[in-house]
Homo-oligomer: A and B are copies of this chain.
Amino acid sequence: MNFTIQNVLLAVEDDYTTQDVQIKDGKIAAISKGLDIIGEAIDGTNKLLLPGFVNAHTHSSEMWQRGIISMYPLELWLAELYDFAPLDTERVYLSALGTAVETLLSGGTTVVDHLVLIPQKEIETIAVAVEAYQKVGIRAFIAPLIQDQSLGAGIPSGESEVTHEDYFRSTQATLEIMEEAIDKFHKPQDGIYVALAPTGIQLCSDALFTGCIELSDKYNLCRHSHLLETKAQEKLAQEKYGCTAVEHLDKIGYLNYRTSLAHCVHLTDNDINILAETQSTVVHNPLSNLRLGSGIAPILKYRQAGVNVSFGCDGASSNDSQDLLEAIKIGSILHNVTDLDYQHWITPQNSIEMASHGGAKGLNLAEEIGSLTLGKKADLVMYDLTSLSLLPRTDPIGLLVLGRPKNVVDSVWVNGKQIVADGQVKNIKVEQLRQELFQHSQWQTKRKSKTVKEFEAHYRKIMGL
């Protein structure tokens, strides 16, 4: 699949240049002025070409509950989420399509789906998500969300003696499901990757972490977890381990260059050094952290310590969107209130680099994607700079990151295949998806969550509320 984009704006060192870009066999073959046309000629006039971004943390099936979950902190929000989680694979398929479409149309070419599994239908859940992402053509990491402790164990017990019911599936059975999933679905050549994704220290035993470490080493796969999203989790780590969660995960060997960690809101300076030394990646989910009141992740400190940082939307019921440009904007400017010295602030150019190269690095793909570099795979997004929301013309990347771009993605290629053209997703009928999402849902008002009722008094006591 060869093509040549002509006269497109490219970002170079605090400036822009108009060039041609040749793609050959799915890879970037040449970037220069006045190139010969190979394959299809694509007009890049008044358009900006950037490497695709990575939506580095989401939970696709949360789309079914966006806009509805009460204003709760994570621990109670999760209780409501799970009380009303969709339990059919048809819905999982549709929300994976929806997540892919929203990610693509906001600049993403790769999605990391920390996929909630339907009990007893684990492999089927993964299969339909894989099917959806392959159908759309987006590069996708399926990171099945696994745990081996029941939900209540995620709240610190404090002084009280709390016992939790056993999780319904054994650690061993969970690891077997993961190995089956790797065998069936991990196909990097097709743009589908399986990652090991124990949800986090709050609901996972060391046996589960260790099993995941072994599988990830055996198959050279990525690891992905939530980490220290809330103050409650910070307390819980001290209860469980007598040290910080990062110190513990480091001790058991979970952290390395293939490990990406969502949130990272409550870390000590020593924790930050450990992330830097182990080359772990922080996935910043600013909107979710605000919505759930988790806090502001110390992203400027991470950058100063040399920790790789990428951006995620998080699931669509804690955000409640999958607009990656929104996550990038807020995840960049949010930190200006944490440091008076503006020389430390994230510039729009930094943000683009974090979202593309940072995202790729966190998935151990920095050699293959994440920048417009000769020989890299063509995961590219071309933005229409004549869109009303990007006018008047000023600094194109400034407009894209700091503005509120609408309908600006003109074309997307993944692995050199065009999957968005003229702003339209090519491989699925988005109009049909829209109708199906409408038909499978109903407007609702307040719901009553049984589990929130069960947890709330204890949660308030533990948190001193």
Binding site for B on A (CB under 8 A): 9, 14-16, 63-68, 71-73, 76, 95, 98, 101-102, 231, 287, 289-296, 319-321, 323, 326, 330, 333-334, 336-337, 339-343, 345-348, 385-386, 388-396, 398-404, 406-407, 430, 433-434, 437-438, 440-446, 463-465
Contacts of A343 in B (CB 8 A): 465
Please, which residue of chain B has its CB at the minimum distance from the CB of A231?
B340
B407→A342 contact, CB < 8 A: no
Q: Quick one: which of B101, B295, B392 contacts A438, CB cutoff 8 A?
A: B392
Shortest A462–chain B CB gap in Å is: 11
Contacts of A63 in B (CB 8 A): 392
Q: Quick one: which of B399, B407, B445 contacts A66, CB cutoff 8 A?
A: B399
B323→A398 contact, CB < 8 A: no
Number of copies of this protein chain within its complex = 2
| CB contact under 8 A between A395 and B296, given known A9-B443, A333-B291, A443-B16 | no
Contacts of A64 in B (CB 8 A): 392, 394
Give bound CA distance, A73 to B337, whole Å.
Answer: 10
Contacts of A443 in B (CB 8 A): 9, 16, 385, 393-396
A440→B392 contact, CB < 8 A: yes
Q: Quick one: which of B291, B391, B402 contacts A402, CB cutoff 8 A?
A: B291
Shortest A355–chain B CB gap in Å is: 16
A386→B434 contact, CB < 8 A: yes
Q: Quick one: which of B14, B337, B342 contacts A295, CB cutoff 8 A?
A: B337
Contacts of A101 in B (CB 8 A): 388
Shortest A160–chain B CB gap in Å is: 20
